[in-house]
Amino acid sequence: MRRLLSAAETVAALFLLLIALLTAGNVLLRDVFSVQIPDWYDGSRMLQGIALFWGLALATCYGSHICVDIVWEHLRPRGRRALDVAATAVTLAFLAPLAWMVWVKVGSTGTQGTMDLRLPLVNFYAVAAVGMTVAAVLAAVRLVLLLRGREALLEPPALDAPAAPKASDGP
């Protein structure tokens, strides 16, 4: 499963790169050759939506959402665990109906399409909805692992890139 999540994260991250390239490519073509990439705008929007919903799924899995630690940091390990369990349960209680309602949205999108090529939005929305569903499922998984004291299984994989070169390495 870890492998699968890591692959999903890489694909979602590549979508961000695609947005940058679509935007830059379109401006280049527009300003230099007076042509445009069809649906670069709606395409970027859809890629962004999919990437971020999947990104939310991974943030939920890794427990890397932005939180206020003001109470948590004054607790002993047992108190912290109790708080983590409660917070994850609340998170699940929010993400489950959210995922459900995103599917409702998918169902009501109808014939709506992109501006230029009229690609059906329902396909893009559905891929995003799968991401949100995964988010809800991962919240449940995290809750179970927390209750069993095995949440360390969900540590995010380290990025295998060498860190930026040291200042002392060169001018």
Partner 1 sequence: MDRDLVALLGFLGMFALMALRVPIGIAMGIAGVAGFAGLSGLKPGLNLLANVPLSVVTDYNLSVIPMFILMGAFASRSGMSTELFAAGRAWLGHLRGGLAMASVAACAGFAAINGSSVATAATMAQVALPEMRRAGYHPGLSAGLVAAGGTLGIMIPPSVILVLYGIMTETDITRLFAAGLIPGLLAVAFYFGVVQFIGWRRPDVMPRGQAHGWRERLASLRSLWAVLLLFVFVLGGIYGGLFTVEEAAGIGAAGTLLIGLARGRLGWAGIRAALIDTLRVSSAIMMIVIGAFLFGYFLTITQFTQKAVGFLVGLPIGPYGVLALIMLGYFVLGAIMDELAMILLTVPIVFPAMMQLGFDPVWFGVIIVMAVTFGMICPPVGINVFVINSIARDITLGRIYRGTMPFIAVDLVRLVILCAFPAISLWLPGLIR
Partner 2 sequence: QDKPVELKFAHWLPANHSLARNGFEPWAKSVEAASKGSIKVVFFPSQQLGKAADHYDMARDGIADVTWANPGYQAGRFPLIAAGELPFLVAKPGPGSAALDAWYRRYAGTEMKDVKFCFAHLHVGTLHAKKPITEPGQLKGMKIRSSNGTNAQFMTLLGATNVQVSAPEARDALEKGVADAISFPWGSILSFGIDKAVKYHTDMRLYASDFAWVVNKGWYDKLGASQKKVIDDHCSNEWAAKVGAAWGDDEDSGQAKLEKAAGHTIVKLTPAQLDAWKKAAEPLYGQWVQGVDKAGANGKQALAELRKELDARKAGN
According to CB under 8 A, which residues from 109 to 148 bind partner 1?
Answer: 125, 128, 132
Distance of alpha carbon 143 from its chain centroid, rounded?
19
Contacts 24+ apart (CB under 8 A), 65-68: 65/91
Interface mask (CB under 8 A) for partner 1, residues 27-66, using x and -? x---x---------x--xxx-xx-xxx-xx-xx--x-xxx
170 binds partner 1 (CB under 8 A): yes
Q: Which is nearer to partner 2, 125 or 151 (CB)?
A: 125
Among 6-14, 72-80, 115-123, 134-142, the segment contacting partner 2 (CB under 8 A): 115-123
Give the one entry of partner 2, partner 1, none that residue 4 binds, where binding means its C-beta sits below a cut-off of 5 to 8 angstroms depending on kind. Answer: none
115 binds partner 2 (CB under 8 A): yes
Among 86-94, 110-118, 143-151, the segment contacting partner 1 (CB under 8 A): 86-94
32 binds partner 2 (CB under 8 A): no
User: In the structure encoding, which two tokens stand for residue 156, read together?
Assistant: 């995010």
Number of helical (H) and strand (E) elements in the chain, helices listed first: 4, 0
d(C-alpha 139, C-alpha 59), whole Å = 10
The DSSP-derived string for 86-133 is HHHHHHHHHHHHHHHHHHHHHHT-TT-B-TTT--BHHHHHHHHHHHHH
